[in-house]
Amino acid sequence: MDFEFSPEQLSFVDEVERFLDEHDDPEVLDVTRENMAQIVDTPKRRAFMAEMGRRGWLGITWPKKHGGQEGDGVYEYLLNESLARRGGPQIGKGVGIIGKTLIRHGSEKLKAEFLPKILRNEVEFAVGYSEPNAGSDAASMQLRAVRDGDGWMLNGQKTWTTSAHFAEWYWVGARTDPEAPKHFGITLFLVPLDHPGITVKPIWTMGDERTNEVYLDDVWVSDDYVVGELNHGFQYISEALDLERFTLFTFSPIAQRLELLSAYVAGARRDGRPLGDDIVVRQRLAQLATQAEVARVLGLRFVHQSTKGGAAPTTEASEYKLYATELSRRLADASMDIAGPGSQLRVKTKSAPMEGRAESTYRYTVIDTIGGGASEIQKNIIARRKLGLPKNF
């Protein structure tokens, strides 16, 4: 594969950068929110994404018959990386998880209702997989969906649903066949979040961001809003998680934070001597720079494999997600260690090393190693699907 970008691709990056310069609003672009900056949770961020939709950027890789451009996946990658580098909202959830799953498996009714709205950014979704006893192991979900006339009655609880307090629709998995093995018998539904049987309660994370518990009490859903085939939901979730593991954990913020740490080391002094002369600090930076290049190439390999068609490459997604998020955490640890006690000052403190960026990064990176499937889950996927190891080893 070619690790260099073509002149056309670099020209697209320049166009995106000009767009970001024109919309450089701190309420929209905020790198200190780390990967949570990707969510479209304010009116200004929704307007920003709607403008990207008018430019045709939200459906770059979608089929033309659904309003897309049938472009190469590398353009979506370049767009997301540019957005992430500036701390802007990204295109992963609606365009990727929901949109691409509906294109592959949704009914014509669901495609007609939701795909145009996604391309215009007129709708926001929350994703409901995790439950109190089913975190990274989504196949263990127990929220029940029982046949009720020409629809289903949903009862149960979801947790860690990040967007439930502002989204309009809930993309939720429920168990429709309790007698089936746990990886079967799950069905995906689309449910309006203003349904009277839905209760949303906040959970505040150590990254100062809100996620939610969601309770569903006698929530009736028509058969029209069943996604794909009954009892095939886990297979669709698995495909979507491959996309999530790549698109929601971008590389450019890691590279940016590495540059920030390197610049700090180059200018700081400790005990009257340049910090950059410390051989231990230099060694640690060299290791991080080498590992960052590995993460970048793993991401490009996923993009390359994705362009071959079919489902998203599973093991490549897990390899990238595992390596990149663990690297992000190692980088956060290094930033705290190298900057010393001052690194504990809160983010945006002007007098703090790196203006407190290390402090916020240290808190956020814990979330990154869990979201989209914890690191242990990624290791299991790689072990089974790539190395051929048995499930119990």
Active-site residues: which are they? Answer: 244
List C-alpha distances in Å: 252 to 116, 208, 256, 328, 330: 29, 22, 6, 11, 16
| β pairing state of 210-222 and 198-204 | antiparallel
Evaluate whether 219 touches 154 at the Cβ level (below 8 Å).
Answer: yes
Evaluate whether 79 touches 16 at the Cβ level (below 8 Å).
Answer: yes
Evaluate whether 336 touches 360 at the Cβ level (below 8 Å).
Answer: no
Evaluate whether 92 touches 248 at the Cβ level (below 8 Å).
Answer: yes
Per-residue HEC secondary structure of the chain comes to CCCCCCHHHHHHHHHHHHHHHHCCCCCCCCHHHHHHHHCCCCHHHHHHHHHHHHCCCCCCCCCHHHCCCCCCHHHHHHHHHHHHHCCCCCCHHHHHHHHHHHHHHCCHHHHHHHHHHHHCCCCCEEEECCECCECCCHHHCCCEEEEECCEEEEEEEECCCCCCCCCCEEEEEEECCCCCCCCCCEEEEEEECCCCCEEEEEEECCCCCEEEEEEEEEEEEEHHHEECCCCCHHHHHHHHHHHHHHHCCCCHHHHHHHHHHHHHHHHCEECCEEHHHCHHHHHHHHHHHHHHHHHHHHHHHHHHHHCCCCCCCHHHHHHHHHHHHHHHHHHHHHHHHHHHHHHHCCCCCCCCHHHHHHHHHHHHHHHHCCCCCCHHHHHHHHHHHCCCCCCCC
Phi, psi of 24 (to 5 degrees): -80, 75
